[in-house]
Each structure stands twice: as structure tokens, then as C-alpha cells.
Structure 1
């Protein structure tokens, strides 16, 4: 399968959107990747799954009180998901994307 260039931003509102068009916005951090349609679809599914863990209100409150255990668990799941996203972006990323992620230390040294 042929790879195409796509752009990803991790803005919580539009995190699950992978676009073939670069957005020229100085306030937005975009990562450029090269992916097959299958790789793109897999990454979109991962982005959607992680975004769904971002502050699930049902896990934060019970009828009695604020549930810190569930909040901590949800936060941990979200962080693990973000780690998976950054690893996928690094794996599919262009040389420039890999350099950016290395500069800000967002990749596991094992990659």
C-alpha cells in the first residue's frame, strides 16, 4: 500500500482528526506522518479511544462524593493512551516529526 502524508494535532477538541491538509495556525502543533490507509485508520481509532478517556464525568463523581480512585484510574488510562499515540506518531512520523518529538522528550528511548 502506498503511504500518504497526513497531519495530526492533539488539541483535545479535534484530537481524533487526521487531515491530508496542513493547517497554518501558529497556535497549533501539528505532526506530519506518512501512513497507509490502514495505518491512518488504526491511528484514528486510537485517537478516538484516548479522547473518550479525557475526563469521563461518570468516573469522577458518585452520588456520595468525588471519587479520587476512579479519577486517578481514568487519568492513568488517558496518559497511557497518550503515550501510545506519541509512539505511533513517532513510528509513522517524518524525519522532522521525529526530531520534534525527540527534542521535547516525548518518545520512549527504546524506539
Structure 2
């Protein structure tokens, strides 16, 4: 499958075709299948984020019992950054390495 250049913002969960559409953090070269996989990860991030937010506001649930939700969120974020690194342009990889985001 042919790869195209995309611009990714992890903070907002955006995957853009045009780098002037919105701020982005990373430039990647990806196929349509890669983009679908990344979008699924962003959707999962949003669900996991919402789950940790809701549970953190329930005063009768001790924080240490939220580990599954926090672990799920962390594992998904790790997978997102790993995929971005794998698909990243050489410049993206260098920047991730400079920032200490290395796999």
C-alpha cells in the first residue's frame, strides 16, 4: 500500500493531510491501514482518558484501585508513540530521540 505524508498531534488526536490545517507535533509516512490503526489508538486514548477522569472524581474509590484504568491509558499512549516513531520521518525520529521518546 502506498504511503503518504501525514501530520500528527497526539495532544488533540488529529491526523492531518495538510500541515497548515492545525498545529502538529510529528510528521509521519503512513499507509491508509497505518492511519486507521493510529486513529483507533486515538479513539481508545479518548475512552481511557474519560474513564480515568470519571473514576478520579468518585471519592469512595481509593486512587490505588484505579490502576487498571491508568495502566490501560499508559499502555495505549506507549503504543501511540511507538507507532509514530516507526512511521516517523527521519526528522521525527531524531526529534523523538532528542526528547527521550525512544523505543
TM bin, normalised by shorter chain, reads 0.7 to 0.9
Instruction: Provide the TM-score with structure 2 as the length reference.
Output: 0.84
Q: Is the 8 A contact 2:55 2:61 kept in 1?
A: no
Return the TM-score normalized by structure 1. Answer: 0.78
Question: Aligned equivalents of 2:28 and 2:61: distance in 1?
Answer: 40
Aligned positions, number: 102
Q: Say whether 1:99 aligns with 2:94.
A: yes
Alignment-derived partner of residue 66 in structure 1? 61
Structure 2 residues not aligned, in runs of 5+: none
CA deviation string 1:31-84 (max 9, x = no partner): 00001111111111011112211141443355x613313433222211111111
After TM superposition, where is structure 1 displaced by more than 6 Å over at least 4 residues in a row? Answer: none
Contact 2:7-2:17 within 8 A present in 1 as well: yes
Partners of 1:23 and 1:78 lie apart in 2 by: 29
- Give the 3 Å change call, closer, same or farther, for CA 52–39 of structure 1 in structure 2: same
Q: Is the 2:3–2:30 contact (alpha carbons within 8 Å) kept by the matching residues of 1?
A: yes
Superposed CA RMSD in Å reads 2.1
